[in-house]
Amino acid sequence: MCTRVMRSVPGEPIVVGRNMDYHCDTGTNLWVLPRGVDRTDGVGGSLAWTAKYGSLIASGYDLMSVDGLNEAGLAGHILWLTESDYGTYDAARPALSMAVWLQYFLDTCATVAEAVAWIEATDVQVVPLADPGTGRVPAVHLALDDATGDSAIVEYLDGKARVWHDRGYAVMTNSPPYGEQLELVKRFAGLGGADVLPGTTLAADRFARATYYGERLPPAASPVDAVAGMFSVIRNAAQPFRIPEDGKPEVSQTIWQTVTDLTNLRYVFASTTRPNVIWVDLGSADLAEGASARRLDLVSGGDFVGNVTTEFVDSAPMQFLTLAS
């Protein structure tokens, strides 16, 4: 599931919030990944690169990037989209495994425009991989945003990338595909229509509420105010804990939330099962070529609170899930 909301107002920090909604624990830790690391596409193809930018990511099972920010101010967010269709893997096309899809852009791009241009020039394919936690193959789409206030939504439909690129594309949830979501939201009062703002956890309803409240935040007097305001919006779109329903044995709930300050390179993380909010100031992290990868172990239940930039521990490089594995 999941919800992503971006706010870009002149004179204020550009912030983006996201809820991670899932039906089970994703084994999420935070990683600081330095520049200068060599990576491959994860599918045994010809695509290889060296990380131009260092990044901070939230991992899934320490095997894939699902959310993150790089030192140039580009951020990305993986969300669920049932309608995703990546097509049959074609070895003749450039391709990225789903596990490293987001990481490629954090490693190589400074802006949304740069990432979109690369997608359109290469016709890159995404190759889905089984979720290590459930054994099932996820269906996802990608939001990208940057410190200039730009935004793009990348979906794979009928085997091809469909890119929605505009600064106005501030909200993203799940089904239906993005073009249909933009039409659905117009039904509601304050957004073009007359229907009462909906209150369920359905993706289209969360899209409407996030759009409505995201557009109505008061001015932020400080970066802390900007982060707090965004948390208020994504909490309104969160999914509460609940027992499975008939026909929905794997109902999702919000398991963690992030707010990223793209202007000041601050990444704020909150687990819904722990009381403490933590943050990382990426500008103070060691991202130099040759530096060690560093990990903040959230899975083991460390009692972290506040600024955790110096709490990361040296680690072997993160090993992304591959088609072969």
State the catalytic residues: 2
Going by their DSSP bridges, the two strands 95-97 and 151-157 should be labelled as unpaired
The three-state secondary structure class of 212 is helix
Cα three-residue angle 299-303-309, rounded to 5 degrees? 85
Phi-psi region of 42 (alpha: psi -120 to 50; beta: other; left: phi over 0): left
Residues 158-163: contacts with CB under 8 Å, at least 24 apart: 158/85, 158/87, 159/85, 159/86, 159/87, 159/88, 159/125, 160/87, 160/123, 161/119, 161/120, 161/123, 161/124, 161/126, 163/116, 163/119, 163/120
Give the single-character DSSP code of 193: B
The burial class, CB within 10 Å (0-12 / 13-18 / 19+), for 121 is exposed
Burial code of 28-65, b = ≥16 C-beta within 10 A, e = fewer?
Answer: bbbbbbbbebebbbbbebebeeebbbbbbbbbbbbbbb
